[in-house]
């Protein structure tokens, strides 16, 4: 095996930065997307490097591009996938051009620098480096490496990987897949963790309806739908649904306890052994940082968040119905029915005059961590940052893993980046002046290359 130390990592870092700047300069804000700009741009780069990609336009201007490095077929492929669309910007709040790809003071600025053109640039640099190493006779693969840059993730992926999984499964089928989010440094109490995403929550989006007796507003009565709804929303906001520890949450808490030590470790271990009834109350005391306690609560509970209200036709009319929209997030293994039962139990008597209507739902995902790829990732992170501690974690949001996993892949969120202690990934993503440190990109590209090359060279 050729060690990655023999590669020119300065040149590869420069290439990663140029790739990212090129991607940022293409405005793929979704809506409307226009990801064909990015797909054609990437296809051109691949062709310049002797790789023939497949370009798929799922709708006008909605482009997707897929390429493959061939292994000897003795193991199933590894898929690297990324979305090329970005969320819109509010230019007035930016101090730089969001689509300028400016390199300043060690940072590349622009929409998508983190989510996720920066990650795509790293994947692309890794893919091109592997291709060159193969051509030079320095690398041979036992499994194919597939690169997919797809559209529409910031909406519902219907013009991206969602439709590709249905219509072109053979282009994407893989045993393992890597994408956002995870593998970036998280600094807590002077310690550094690398959460690797091995699970993500599901979602149930629904409407809660309260009904009552209509009438003239000049004669108030007790059966007012607006009042019923207001009470229910207030009650829901204060609900504490039961705690559930999944394997990922357990491993995350145990990893934090091992790494943090001291009083926080005692609190976290108490949480692990307390059981679901008692545990919930311990979360606020287990972690000192308020943001982390909220995160820990979200990955150990199904959650219900009111996000909209609609009631009333006219100021002097008591309406028959009033409606709230609820964003519910479910733990892996929890069905839509399970969630509704928990919610009705928690609402007690009030549930009787309320009805729930589900608009859309997707189940949560949880993948095993006792796999050769997880071990390869963990070993690589420890090699590249000996002080860092890799731990499994659950994303509270959703990614394209929901689609990719339908083809049977074990999906991890692994896009290695190194943040300084003051920087929080979650505060920069989708924010104003989104940016990524050049040093972080350089470090991450090298760590990702080591994982991909080590994993795909090794015999299964």
Q: How far is the CB of 76 from Zn ion (least distance, A)?
A: 25
Stretch that binds Zn ion, among 15-23, 91-99, 176-184, 310-318 (CB under 5 A): 176-184
Pairwise CA distance, residues 273 & 301, whole Å: 17
Contact 192, 388 (CB under 8 A): yes
Compute the chain's Rg from CA coordinates.
24
Contact 248, 366 (CB under 8 A): yes
Task: Give, in order, the Cα–Cα distances in Å from 51 to each of 14, 127, 146.
Answer: 21, 10, 12
- Closest residue by Cα to residue 226 from 321, 129, 304: 321
The reply on whether position 115 binds Zn ion by CB under 5 A is yes
- Which residue lies nearer to Zn ion by CB, 228 or 425? 425
How many residues contact Zn ion, by CB under 5 A? Answer: 3
Given CA atoms 392, 402, 85, 161 in this order, what sign does their dihedral have?
positive
Report, in Å, the least distance between residue 136 CB and Zn ion: 33
Please report, as residue ranges, which positions from 367 to 426 form the binding site for Zn ion (by CB under 5 A): none
**Min. distance of Cβ 400 from Zn ion in angstroms?**
8
Q: Which is nearer to Zn ion, 246 or 415 (CB)?
A: 415
Residue 432 Cβ vs Zn ion, minimum distance, rounded to whole Å: 17
Considering the complex, what minimum distance in angstroms separates the CB of residue 85 from Zn ion? 9
State the minimum distance, in angstroms, from the CB of residue 160 to Zn ion.
11
Residue 38 touching Zn ion (CB under 5 A): no
Q: How far apart are CA 32 and CA 154, in angstroms?
A: 11
Structure-derived torsion over alpha carbons of residues 256, 262, 264, 268, reported in degrees to the nearest 10: 60
Q: Name the helix (H) or strand (E) containing 354.
A: strand 354-362
For residues 205 and 363, the answer to whether their CB atoms sit within 8 Å is: no
Total residue length of the chain: 460
Instruction: Give bridge partners of residue 243 from the DSSP assignment.
Output: 301
Candidate ranges 115-123, 171-179, 330-338, 359-367; the one touching Zn ion (CB under 5 A): 115-123
Closer to Zn ion by Cβ: residue 85 or 366 = 85
Q: Binding to Zn ion by residue 35, rule CB under 5 A?
A: no
The minimum distance between CB 179 and Zn ion, in angstroms, equals: 8
Instruction: Tell me how far apart the alpha carbons of residues 99 and 38 are, in angstroms, rounded to a whole number.
Output: 13
Build a one-symbol-per-residue string for 72-101: x at contacts with Zn ion by CB under 5 A, - elsewhere. ------------------------------
Does residue 434 interact with Zn ion by CB under 5 A? no
Report which residue's Cβ sits closest to Zn ion. 115
- If the CB atoms of residues 144 and 400 are measured against Zn ion, the closer one turns out to be 400
- Minimum distance between the CB of residue 197 and Zn ion, rounded to whole angstroms? 12
Nearer to Zn ion, 212 or 413 (CB): 413
Q: Please tell me whether the peptide bond between 101 and the residue prior to it is cis, using omega within 30 degrees of 0.
A: no
Tell me the window of 8-16, 109-117, 333-341, 369-377 that interacts with Zn ion (CB under 5 A).
Answer: 109-117
Comparison of 115 and 144: residue with beta carbon closer to Zn ion: 115
Distance CA 173, CA 168 (A): 9
Phi, psi (rounded to 5 degrees) for 278: -80, -35
Is residue 116 a contact residue for Zn ion (CB under 5 A)?
A: yes
Q: Which chain residues interact with Zn ion by CB under 5 A?
A: 115-116, 180
């Amino acid at each position: 095996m050729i060690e990655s130390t023999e590669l020119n990592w300065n040149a590869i870092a420069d290439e990663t930065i140029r790739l990212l700047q090129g991607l940022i300069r293409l405005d793929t804000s979704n809506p409307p997307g226009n990801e064909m700009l990015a797909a054609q741009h990437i296809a051109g780069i691949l062709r310049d490097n002797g790789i023939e990609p497949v370009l798929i336009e799922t709708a006008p201007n909605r482009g997707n591009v897929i390429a493959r490095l061939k292994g000897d077929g003795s193991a199933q492929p590894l898929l690297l996938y990324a979305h090329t669309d970005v969320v819109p910007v509010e230019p007035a709040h930016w101090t730089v051009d969001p689509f300028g790809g400016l390199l300043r003071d060690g940072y590349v600025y622009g929409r998508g620098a983190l989510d996720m053109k920066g990650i795509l640039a790293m994947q692309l640099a890794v893919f091109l480096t592997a291709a060159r190493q193969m051509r030079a006779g320095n690398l041979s693969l036992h499994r194919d490496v597939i690169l997919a840059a797809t559209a529409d993730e910031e909406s519902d992926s219907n013009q991206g990987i969602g439709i590709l999984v249905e219509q072109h499964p053979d282009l994407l089928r893989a045993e393992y897949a890597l994408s956002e989010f995870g593998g970036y440094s998280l600094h807590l109490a002077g310690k550094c963790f690398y959460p690797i995403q091995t699970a993500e929550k599901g979602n149930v989006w629904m409407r809660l309806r309260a009904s009552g007796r209509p009438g003239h507003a000049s004669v108030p009565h007790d059966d007012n739908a607006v009042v019923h709804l207001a009470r229910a929303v207030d009650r829901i906001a204060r609900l504490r649904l039961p705690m559930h520890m999944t394997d990922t949450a357990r491993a995350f808490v145990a990893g934090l306890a091992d790494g943090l030590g001291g009083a926080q470790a005692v609190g976290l271990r108490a949480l692990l052994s307390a059981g679901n009834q008692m545990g919930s109350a311990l979360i606020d005391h287990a972690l000192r940082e308020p943001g982390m306690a909220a995160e820990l609560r979200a990955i150990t509970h199904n959650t219900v968040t009111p996000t909209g209200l609609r009631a009333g036709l006219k100021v002097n009319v008591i309406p028959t119905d009033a409606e709230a929209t609820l964003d519910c997030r479910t733990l892996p293994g929890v069905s839509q029915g399970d969630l509704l039962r928990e919610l009705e139990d928690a609402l007690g008597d009030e549930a009787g005059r309320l009805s729930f209507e589900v608009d859309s739902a997707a189940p949560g995902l949880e993948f095993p961590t006792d796999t050769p790829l997880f071990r390869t990732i963990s070993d690589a992170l420890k090699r590249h940052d000996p002080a860092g501690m890799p731990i499994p974690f659950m994303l509270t949001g959703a990614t394209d893993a929901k689609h990719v996993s339908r083809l049977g892949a074990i999906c991890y969120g692994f896009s290695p980046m190194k943040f300084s202690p003051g920087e929080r990934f979650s505060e920069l993503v989708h924010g104003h002046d989104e940016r990524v440190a050049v040093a972080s990109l350089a470090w991450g590209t090298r760590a990702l290359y080591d994982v991909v090359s080590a994993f795909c060279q090794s015999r299964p």
